[in-house]
Structure 1
Amino acid sequence: MTSSAGKHTYTTALVTGATAGLGAEFARQLAEQGHHLVLVARDGTRLRAKAEELDRRYSVRAEVLAADLVDDAGVAAVVARLSDPSRPVEILVNNAGIGLLHSFADNDIADEKRHLKLHVETAMELSHAALQGMLARRSGRIINVASVAAFLPRETYSAAKAWLVSFSRWANLAYSPRGVKVTAVCPGFTHTEFHERMGMDKRVAPRWMWLQAERVVSEGLADNQRGKAVSIPSTRYKILTALTRVLPARFVAGPPRRAK
């Protein structure tokens, strides 16, 4: 264990979407803190490479679980891992996500259904599975990666993320007295692979609006540890989110998505 970890927790954290972006950064910072890991993503080759990197760098055990979380069988495999009493998971990070470039009416409805399943149904199912053991142990943490889009009128992405925020607020209220902290982490524009994968031109947002993944994750983990139900990393996005409560919707919708 590296001295930078600061403590030897040796509990296990399961992170979905762990090979890139915020998921990879959550895995790195949790490993640095001394947590063993279960890394979940579709690409088994990238998962194994990430696990070897974290094991080598932080001397933690990094288990890999290749699963497609829009597929029922993939979700069932992760549920089974979360439900194994002999290998308890103390921290669940529901990070896996996708974006849709075009407007709702122009998208294929099958893509919209996959989008909704991943952001809402899968996160709900994994949270339910994790809670069983956490409540029995009276200890656990769940982090749902949402977005400041949850507070904006931004198509079905906003609607899905708003569900995560509402669910996290309620779950934290209901379960924190029983030892389980639940937090929705709501970043703004963040430098990851997310926008490249959806084919969006990142120049639609000015440079000052972009955050670094390291900051988003460190603030999110700290807020979760403190028991906050909603974490909005950075002062600039705290201010922008506050403005959404008083300004007309047409002023806070944000820049339109544009293809590269």
Structure 2
Amino acid sequence: RGHGVTLVARRADKLDELADELRSRGVRAEVLAADLSDRSARAELLGRVTELGLIPDILVNNAGLSTLGPVVESDPEAEMNMIEVDVVAVADLCTRFLPGMTERRRGALLNVASTAAFQPLPGQAGYGACKAFVLSYTQSLTGELRGTGVTATALCPGPVQTGFGEAAGFAKDDAEKALPSIMWVSAETVAKTAVDDMTKGRMVSIPGPANRIGSIFAQITPRTLLVPMLTRIHPGLKNGASS
């Protein structure tokens, strides 16, 4: 929609492939390889963007990962790495990039949370808690940024076919059995909904009507009922998987 993009992730080769695709469509795309779990790498990121001659008007915190299985069977290092990427990196990059936006009195922040943010998530306890942080943090930023010309939006997608689940350890069939087909949304729909809602300055964006209804259900259902139900259906607990 008229914006250039700066792509940031660990895998430079994957970023280059995506950048080439974007350039073929007339989009200016830059690549900065950085491990967002590394605090020193995050500290250098704004300076590296500035060195490219770019002024960041939109920050999208999209990096994320999950572990799978009961906490008692989890790998402590994997759990801490998840928190570093899903929580600490989000707050870190917001504190570094937002001041420039507010000084220029224009900009937008899009933090990717999840419908998991609205409910407990036995089997992915750490992931659900991380996304609850992102949602609450972004909602608070919406209030703090009022009147600055900068907006903050929390994107809360439900299940999406992106390979994220497989990377976390889900068997594709198990995930599809646990979640009704009506809840699955395409990556294209998620992206379009996110950009539309960010442009409108909405505080929360939930792609797909079924997921919007599900998020309301999750918030109003007593936890004494919701937790046992989620425990029964979660693939990470049914299969005895661990992170």
Q: Normalised by the size of structure 2, how large is the TM-score?
A: 0.87
**How far apart, in 1, do the equivalents of 2:184 and 2:207 lie?**
11
**Match status 1:127 vs 2:104:** no
- Among 29, 35, 47, the alignment partner of 1:80 is 47
Residues 110-131 of structure 1, C-alpha deviation per residue, up to 9 Å, x if partnerless? 1111111111110111111111
Identify if the C-alpha distance between structure 1 residues 91 and 69 changes in structure 2 by more than 3 Å, giving closer, same or farther: same
- Among 119, 126, 131, the alignment partner of 1:161 is 131
Q: Is the 8 A contact 2:113 2:134 kept in 1?
A: yes
**Match status 1:256 vs 2:234:** yes
Measured after TM superposition, the shift of residue 83 of structure 1 is: 6.0
**How far apart, in 1, do the equivalents of 2:117 and 2:167 lie?**
21
Equivalent position of 2:153 in the other structure:
183
Identify if the C-alpha distance between structure 1 residues 127 and 37 changes in structure 2 by more than 3 Å, giving closer, same or farther: same
Q: Is the 8 A contact 2:119 2:219 kept in 1?
A: no
**How far apart, in 2, do the equivalents of 1:232 and 1:118 lie?**
22
SS across alignment from 2:47: helix
Which letter does structure 1 place at the counterpart of 2:137? Answer: F
**How far apart, in 2, do the equivalents of 1:182 and 1:46 lie?**
28
SS across alignment from 1:211: coil
Q: Is the 8 A contact 2:183 2:208 kept in 1?
A: no
Measured after TM superposition, the shift of residue 81 of structure 1 is: 3.3
**How far apart, in 2, do the equivalents of 1:131 and 1:85 lie?**
18
Measured after TM superposition, the shift of residue 109 of structure 1 is: 1.2
Q: Is the 8 A contact 2:102 2:149 kept in 1?
A: yes
Measured after TM superposition, the shift of residue 80 of structure 1 is: 2.6
Equivalent position of 1:47 in the other structure:
15
Which letter does structure 2 place at the counterpart of 1:218? Answer: K
Residues 91-148 of structure 1, C-alpha deviation per residue, up to 9 Å, x if partnerless? 1100000011122221111111111111111011111111111011000001000001
Q: Give the superposed CA RMSD.
A: 1.8
User: What runs of 5+ residues in structure 2 fail to find an aligned partner?
Assistant: none
SS across alignment from 1:178: coil
SS across alignment from 2:110: strand
Measured after TM superposition, the shift of residue 74 of structure 1 is: 2.5
Equivalent position of 1:14 in the other structure:
none
Measured after TM superposition, the shift of residue 85 of structure 1 is: 9.9
SS across alignment from 2:60: strand
**Match status 1:210 vs 2:184:** yes
User: What runs of 5+ residues in structure 1 fail to find an aligned partner?
Assistant: 1-32
Deviates more, 1:231-240 or 1:140-149: 231-240
Q: Percent identity?
A: 35
**How far apart, in 1, do the equivalents of 2:65 and 2:114 lie?**
12
Equivalent position of 1:225 in the other structure:
199
**How far apart, in 2, do the equivalents of 1:105 and 1:158 lie?**
16
Measured after TM superposition, the shift of residue 250 of structure 1 is: 5.0
Q: Is the 8 A contact 1:83 1:129 kept in 2?
A: no
Equivalent position of 1:240 in the other structure:
214
Query: Relative CO higher for 1 or 2, CA cutoff 8 Å, sep ≥ 6?
Result: 2
Matches within 5 A, 1:61-140: 61-81=28-48, 86-140=53-107
Identify if the C-alpha distance between structure 1 residues 252 and 84 changes in structure 2 by more than 3 Å, giving closer, same or farther: farther
Q: Is the 8 A contact 1:176 1:227 kept in 2?
A: no
Q: Is the 8 A contact 2:10 2:33 kept in 1?
A: yes
